[in-house]
Amino acid sequence: MFKTGDFVRLKEDPSRGGMITGNTSVSRNRLYWEVMLADGTGTQLFAESKLEANAGRVDPLEELARGRFTDPDRLRRSILHHRLTGRLRDMIYSIDATDTDFHAYQFKPVVKLLASPSQGLLIADEVGLGKTIEAGLVWTELVARFDASRLLVVCPKSLTEKWRLELRQKFSVDARIVDARGLMEALRDDAEGGDGFALIVSLSAVRPPKEWEDDDKSARAALCRHLSDSESNPRALFDCVIFDEAHHLRNRDTLAHTFARAAMGVADFKLLLSATPINLHSEDLRNLLALLDPDTFDSEYAFSILNEENRPLVQARDMVLNQKTPFAELVESLKAIPRGDMLKIERQLDNLQRELRQPGLKDGHDLRVRVAAMLEEMSLLGTIVNRTRRRDVNDLQVKREVDDLRWEMTEREREFYDAVSDVVRQHAFELDASERFLLATPQRLIASSLAAAFAHWSKIPEGYSEDDEGDDDTRKRARGGPLSSKLAELCRSLGNGRALELDDTKYATLRHAIEQHRAKGDDKLIVFSSFRTTLDYLSRRLRSDGFDIEVMHGGIKDDRSAIVARFAERTGACVLLTSEVGGEGLDMQFCRSLINYDLPWNPMKVEQRIGRIDRIGQAAERINILSLVSKDTIEERIYDRLYRRLLTIQETLGAFEAVLGKEIPDLEKRLLDPQLSEDEKEVEIERSAMALITRQKQIEKLEEDAPGLIAHGDMILAQIEANRRPERRIDGAELADYVHEAIAGRYPGSRVSDAPGIEGVFEVVLSESAQLALKRVTAKLGRARTVLNREKATLAAFEKRSGLPKRTEIISSVHPLVRLAASIRDEVAAGASAEPVISVHVPAVLLPDIASGTYIASAARWSVEGAVRIDRLFYGAQALTGRSLAAVDAERLVQVALRQGTHFDPQASLVTIQNGMRRLIENVMEPAFDNFLEEEEARHEDRADTSLARIERQAEKRRRETEAKLYEWKMSGDPKKIKMVSPEQGKLDKLIARLEERKSLLRSARARFSHNNIIVGMLVVELA
């Protein structure tokens, strides 16, 4: 009667079914078929007479009429499966799925990207807030929702190893560092049916050469051509592309921007990471956003129109958030928002106004936050930029203790300092003003270490560059030259510099400071200097004095991450001597104190130093920043007038990394002007400090004008916190049960069982075939990492908890083993449609804020599909007396009933319960679904219309400009211009064709809009 693969169900319990495995058994002349059950409980043998072919959906009302109540565990597993495998709008899968500490604001980019029509996001958080972690959480979410498997990270070369370690240690992703050739090979393998990849490249390794379109030899040119040529392919080459330090891409005329545009054009999801303030009038910002959404931001003309049409939305949002605005005035303001030519939001505004006019609607904080969030999502930048500032983060309020140690030179030291300064000053008269910035290096070196500077100029060969930080151009111009000769001659004239080392006041001050820190319990201390020669000098002196030392700068060959790891793991006292370049991009929040042995003239470099320890993960309530400053020097005046002021105002004005601009280089030139007196130099420092403070205030004002980006993410944060509620969390034991039922049923010999004597820890055992299946899943998840790929048995915990045994693997909801279990259940449930009805008793003490009584509850899965698919699990509940519960309380009631309820026979008649179920469906479930469908359809239609309007306006403007240019060339009579007419016309034709193709795809996606509403299960709950 049946054959392998048929879907069947029980005649007496149609809600229970599964797939025929093909195995049979005969007992007492009765034929039994083995069925892989769709509810995840494995396989069982059923008599053929008890089975029937699965003929479709089961009506829960019919089940109830027959008095058929099923096992609550089946509904619990069914809802869990929907939660694990759906693309649920109100669920964040990356929460508790990685080896990172929970900080709510770090999930804002996840929520924003999922809501972004362009599927692109600029993460512009301030320094130290964990942009790398935010990007990792986004990737985790994409893997969970869309089975993303092809990741590319592009970053500065100095950060490639940091990215590799972060992805491996915190997100269980095995990423490889490759060059242009390696990236091309990975793309070819993927095109031939490969298993996905996670790759990291440095921007310098993939930036194309100037003639990349015609260069046949360069791998970087070939890569850029391949990416550009693939833009029209229906299948993207990358699931996600991440560009770190994206401010390097802000100039659209650079080759770096060219590569970024090519890579973004073939990626489904795009992330840019940069600590960039938000200024809607900035060309740099528009160039970055054009990489994410070229249709909107490529054209300055279109962007200006959209910006104007966006302004009323910003004003309306501000009114909503102002509690003093009367509710009636708020509703009227929405009616006054004009309909835009390009920003199409008519349907969403109509829905919102209709909702706010409902009788009985009460004004309140929650309602206003939700309305503001809806307006932000409609706005231009609400879903394409995320900006979090340090002062807006409650869990990052580390107090900075900024202090200094003034040291006074001896007579010998002052004599050498003044002599070098005089040589530099006299040499300045021989240089043009534009060349004087080169003089900052020797001036700063003597401020760094007199003894090290003397040794350097006396013994180190001419041509050596003192500056550890200078770019290539600076170093080339600084090598050798007359000034080096003059300084070397000065040192020889002063004789042996040994006395400077023996009587080194600054070193003695440092040693005393280290001893004081140790006395306060600071065993780990970071000492920064900009100069290798100073760091090497300090290393030699401190080691000879018995201090434990690690050294890190550009000249050290050891891996920088390994040096930091050694420093972190030291159990005793240790000092890390490092430069800015040596410590760039590395996190050292396990340390709470640092000493600036010398101060760069650029305050941003000091802020970058502090940022190594003042960042997410810093456990100390206070961090200490100590600067060594020499009395009666230009450095002391810079520190007092500029540094102290900026470091003091930072906590009220915010980070100043983006305000410095060319102000500091200009100040540097002015301070090196030999004609300025000391008083005039002090005036210049004061003027620069005031200019920087004023500019920072201007940036703060500009950011406040940007909608939905600064401080108004209440709705998003509320959604994030909602995912942490007990009823939303997936219990570890529940997840372990889900995995066990799937793999034990499909792969005999596989199991998940309690580890003896260890609470919350399980032993996972896989059969040979189960491990092979897991490897296939792992390969398709962007090179996810698990010990089960190598070993068939391991200890595992299905949720993060303290005190776990070493080598315990954390198996979260996005782990490959859970994905394998979900795929098994999907396969066996493909033809089995079950809507179980259960009846349970729940002690009232478990839900004290919900009135006792008998409740009818339901769980439904809603889906809409257009350009993207959106799913939602909705819970409704109503007392038999007719009172409905709020959706959040209905969800709590259902989850508590499934996890802690016990089966019971309902006291009310089946007819009464059946009527209650009908009322629940008619009064709660169906109206809620209609509202959901109306909102999503309006959002879908408006976004499609906005995109079409943008493209049409862009095409119209380009056609008009090109035709005017071609007419001018034709009328000029110039043979060269006339020769250019045909190629230019060809470019226009290609552009128009590409835009027409985009319009066709948008119209097709809009026409494909569809929906589904499936009842997952219904419950009778006795709360008493």
Q: Which of 822, 849, 917, 1022 is nearest to 62 (CA)?
A: 917
Interatomic CA distance for residues 72 and 78, integer angstroms: 10
Structure tokens at 726: 């007990």
Question: Which of 452, 475, 500 is a domain's end point?
Answer: 500
pLDDT digits (tens, 9 = 90+) for 560-610: 878 888 898 888 889 999 987 755 667 888 899 999 999 887 777 787 788
pLDDT in tens, 671-729: 666 666 777 777 777 777 666 666 566 555 555 554 444 444 566 777 777 777 877 88
Per the domain annotation, does 582 fall within a domain?
yes
The first and second tokens of residue 667, run together, are 């100040």
Mind listing the pLDDT tens digit for each residue in 505-538? Answer: 999 999 999 999 988 888 899 999 999 999 999 9
Same domain, 581 and 531: yes
Domain identity same for 403 and 431 = no
- Range of weakest confidence among 130-139, 643-652, 675-684, 785-794: 643-652
Using alpha carbons, select from 385, 108, 123, 278 the residue that is nearest to residue 705.
278
- Please state the rounded mean pLDDT for residues 805-813: 87
Q: Under a CB-based contact definition with an 8 Å cutoff, are residues 558 and 491 in contact?
A: no
Is 422 among the domain residues? Answer: yes
Q: In whole angstroms, how far apart are CA 401 and each of 523, 619, 626?
A: 18, 15, 8
For strands 762-765 and 751-754, give the pairing. antiparallel
**Assigned domain for 908 exists:** yes
Same domain, 742 and 874: no
End-of-domain residue from the set 810, 828, 853: 810
Whether residue 92 lies inside any domain: the answer is no
404, part of any domain: yes
**Same-domain pairing of 223 and 120:** yes
The alpha carbon dihedral of 523, 528, 529, 533 has a sign of: positive
Query: Which conformational region is residue 479 in: left (phi greater than 0), alpha (psi within -120 to 50 degrees), or beta?
Result: beta
The candidate with the shortest Cα–Cα distance to 841, out of 663, 665, 1021, is 1021
Q: Looking at residue 284, which CATH number applies to its domain?
A: 3.40.50.10810
Q: Residue 690 sits in a domain of what CATH number?
A: 3.40.50.300
For residues 226 and 197, membership in a common domain is answered with yes
- Structure-model confidence comparison of residues 431 and 103, the more confident one: 103
The C-alpha angle 209, 215, 218, rounded to 5 degrees, equals 65
Q: Is the pLDDT of residue 664 over 70?
A: no
**Does residue 1007 share a domain with residue 895?**
yes
Q: Say whether pLDDT at 543 is over 60.
A: yes
Place of tokens 């170093």: 475
The verdict on 676 and 780 lying in the same domain is no
CA-based nearest residue to 808, from 788, 794, 790: 794
Structure tokens at 223: 């890569």
Is 90 inside any structural domain? no
Sign of the CA dihedral running 547, 552, 557, 558? positive
pLDDT in tens, 192-211: 877 789 999 999 999 999 88
234 burial (CB, 10 Å; 0-12 / 13-18 / 19+) is exposed
Q: Are 937 and 864 in contact (CB under 8 A)?
A: yes
Average pLDDT, the chain: 82
Within this chain, do residues 880 and 980 fall inside the same structural domain, yes or no? yes
**pLDDT exceeds 80 at position 40:** no
Q: Which domain holds residue 374?
A: 299-382
Residue 367: enclosing H or E segment and its boundaries? helix 365-378
Dump pLDDT digits (tens) for 949-992. Answer: 777 877 787 788 788 888 888 888 888 888 888 888 887 888 78
End-to-end CA distance of the chain: 48
- E strands present in 348-490: 385-386, 399-407
Dist CA 320 CA 398 (whole Å):
33
Tell me, yes or no, whether 427 lies in a domain.
Answer: yes
How many domains, in total, are found in the chain? 7
Of 298, 314, 335, which closes a domain?
A: 298
Burial track 992-1005 (b if 16+ CB lie within 10 A, e otherwise): eeebeebbeebeeb
Q: Is residue 172 part of a domain?
A: yes
Three-state DSSP at 421 gives: helix
On whether both 751 and 763 belong to a single domain, the answer is yes
Query: Are 541 and 686 within one domain?
Result: yes
The pair of three-digit structure tokens given for residue 459, joined into one six-digit string: 């013994």
Query: For residue 473, with 0-12 CB atoms within 10 Å meaning exposed, 13-18 middle and 19 or more buried, which class applies?
Result: exposed
Report CA dihedral (893, 896, 898, 902) to the nearest 10 degrees.
Answer: -100
**Residues 61, 175 within the same domain:** no
462, 423, 472, 473: which is closest to 443 by C-alpha? 423
Q: Which of 88-97, 329-338, 460-469, 971-980 has the lowest mean pLDDT?
A: 460-469
340 and 452 belong to one structural domain: no
Confidence band of 653 (pLDDT split at 50, 70, 90)? very low
* Average pLDDT of the segment spanning 375-393: 75
